[in-house]
Structure 1
Amino acid sequence: MAVSSPDSMLELLSADGPDPEHADALMLYGRLVGNWTISNRYRFPDGQWRTAAGEWRFGWALGGRVVQDVLFCPEFHGRYPGTTVRMYDVNTGLWQITWFSPKLPSYFSQTGRPDGDGGMIQEGTDPDGRRSRWTFTDVTPASFHWQGFSAGPDGEFALFQEMHATRA
């Protein structure tokens, strides 16, 4: 058996576009494929809001049924990015979503769907088991607004992060 080069794994992971059989549904997140510059505002555990610039790159993966992204904001997390894997479930019509950042370490599991206004809503749980909600709104070919919410002890959602993205 031949030993594979590291590039071969990346070649197997990447895809040139959406799976043609489900292309229309896959474009919910597929329209984000490309590179974006972001202004990232994050509430730190001390309650203070901090803002930093970053990059968000989206691409097709795993036969074109997955949209994967890498979020890189060096001022907040050093040189360690996080990634989201969004898999379109052809049986339910929903998106199964996992975000993780090994450096923090942190992860979220969510289910995504259209929000009815041209955006997307993702709901699930954070690493502590609290309900989470992430939204993509004002989505255009050139920009979008993302917000992350976490439920407090009273069950009400509170904003903990937001990003304004512009296509690079």
Structure 2
Amino acid sequence: MTASSRASMLDLLSADGPDPDHAEALMLYGRLVGTWRVENRYRFPDGEWRTATGEWRFGWTLGGRVVQDVLHCPDFHGPYPGTTVRMYDVTTGLWQITWFSPKLPSYFSQTGRPDGAGGMIQEGTDAEGRPSRWTFGDVTPTSFHWQGFVATPDGGWDLFQEMYASRDGGQPIG
């Protein structure tokens, strides 16, 4: 048995940092690597807005070409977090993104890019095939504002979730 065959799945998944061949482009989401405290506001199917605190952890995976996160808000999801996998596509310069939460169950498939104002925009579809848009705005080394939208029948966007994040310890990680 070789050393690589004895490594755990998590050891093989994890990466120490961005792929050096594409490090600059990878920092669009790579700058989020670390642990964040979040105030999560979510509109439930009954139309009521509820707020909960949680934790959002971002890390490097798959040879440093992927930024993966785990979002954990126990008041909304119980002990079952959701995860997002963001893969930088070196051929297009875009990010291919999948979020899923097996407990709900729910998933989104999106493409991400810079928004032109220092943040990121992700657009795609939700589990029902409706257009979706997620944004990261007001991004600083210690905070950001995330918003999730779903398309309305009239072609507009309806906010269904937003989070204010602050970095644990106040210092960038990674």
Q: What TM-score results when the alignment is normalised by the length of structure 2? A: 0.93
Shift of 1:36: 0.2
The equivalent of 1:121 in structure 2 is 121
Counterparts of 2:39 and 2:99 in 1: how far apart (Å)? 19
Residue type matched to 1:97 in 2?
A: I
Partner of residue 11, structure 2: 11
Aligned counterpart, 2:145? 145
Deviations 1:23-67 (A, max 9, x none): 000000000000000000000001010000000000000000000
| Deviation at residue 154 of structure 1 after TM alignment | 1.9
Give the AA of the match of 2:96. Q
Percent of pairs identical after alignment?
A: 81
How far the C-alpha of 1:85 sits from its partner, in A, is 0.1
* RMSD across aligned positions (CA): 1.3
Q: Hey, what's the Cα distance between the residues in 1 that align with 2:10 and 2:76?
A: 27
Paired letter, 2:85: V
SS across alignment from 1:10? helix
Aligned length: 167
TM normalised by structure 1 equals 0.96
1:51 matched residue in structure 2: 51
Aligned counterpart, 2:107:
107
Aligned counterpart, 1:33:
33
What secondary structure, in the 3-state scheme, does the structure 1 residue paired with 2:99 have? strand
CA distance in 1, matches of 2:85, 2:140: 21
- For 1:165, the equivalent position in structure 2 comes to 165
Inter-partner Cα distance in structure 2 for 1:156 and 1:44: 19
Distance in 1, Cα, partners of 2:45 & 2:140:
32
**Partner SS state of residue 11, structure 1:** helix
Secondary structure at the aligned position of 2:8 is classed as helix
Aligned to 1:90: 90
Shift of 1:156: 1.2
Shift of 1:155: 2.1
Question: CA–CA distance in 2 between the matches of 1:149 and 1:68?
Answer: 21
